[in-house]
Amino acid sequence: MTTPTDRSRPFAYRLAIAIIRPLLMVFTRREWSGAENLPTEGGYVVCPNHYSYLEPLVFGHFLVDHGHAPRYLGKIEVFEAPVVGRIVRGADQIPVYRESERAGDAYRAAVAAVRAGKGVAIYPEGTLTRDPELWPMRGKTGAARVALETQCPVVPVATWGAQEIFPPYSKRLRLLPRKTVRVRAGRPVPLTDLYGKPLTAEVLGEATSRIMASITAELEVLRGEKAPLVRYDPRAHRVTPTGKPRPLEEAS
């Protein structure tokens, strides 16, 4: 397995780790669990919940601490940012062109990365959850599609605590007093019975439902409470699918 400090990693990737990890060490307390469920060889997909802009750094910290440095799928706006964009481009991450004719580029890049034996981090929700209590909401099918195409393991990961430092859509960090962030990786999602089947909407929906259920189950352990029986669906609540949540009537 290639470790995060391996020289084969792009310089920008190693630079980001060298800058960000010490800061997280100073400003957070960490509780990691389930790292034994991360594959030690071969390509894989890892799927976390998404509820804070800080959470990807916490999630990345967990992976780096256990010898993993996967490629992230991230919205193109991050890649176009003046400073951060240059770093993520140099770190060989994968841009996602949401709702555009280039939307399939990320899928093809993710499949190629998995087949090359790399780990790929995909957020099934596609954006910060709209659930008022920050539970995982309805997922999209991208992670399931990559996993079924490559027949690779899908590891569900739950994180919690980042919202206390950087609440959703806030512009203010709350670094002190130091907060505890928790990350828990679960066993790979059982998908083998779906291998070889045509990637129909029904099959992709079933795989996505299993992935989201597995992420939610791990988050229930971290939070010590049960998630709602019905998963939040932005379409049913007529909420904008991306950006800061607003009623669709206001966005039109």
Q: What is the pLDDT of residues 94-115, one digit of tens each?
A: 877 766 667 688 899 999 999 9
Cα separations in angstroms, 98 against 102, 140, 174, 243 = 8, 12, 30, 12
Q: Which residue has the higher pLDDT, 125 or 70?
A: 125
- Sheet containing strand 154-160, edge to edge, reads 28-33, 179-185, 154-160, 44-48, 119-121, 71-75, 94-96
Least confident window among 49-53, 79-83, 124-128, 179-183? 79-83
d(CA 30, CA 60): 12
Angle at 164 between CA 48 and CA 210, to 5 degrees: 20
- At 30, list the tokens: 């960490």
Looking at residue 5, its pLDDT comes to 46
Looking at residue 11, its pLDDT comes to 85
Asked if the model's pLDDT at residue 89 lies above 80, the reply is: no
d(CA 170, CA 60): 21
Looking at residue 15, its pLDDT comes to 87
Asked if the model's pLDDT at residue 59 lies above 90, the reply is: yes
Least confident window among 50-54, 94-98, 188-192? 94-98
Q: Kind of pairing, strands 119-121 and 154-160? A: unpaired
Parse the chain into domains and list their residue ranges: 29-164+176-251
Q: Determine contact, residues 247/239, Cβ cutoff 8 Å.
A: yes
Cα separations in angstroms, 204 against 139, 142, 150, 194, 197 = 11, 9, 14, 9, 10
Percentage of residues in the chain having pLDDT higher than 90: 71
CATH H superfamily, domain 29-164+176-251: Glycerol-3-phosphate (1)-acyltransferase (3.40.1130.10)
Which backbone phi and psi does 244 adopt, to 5 degrees? -60, 130
Looking at residue 105, its pLDDT comes to 85
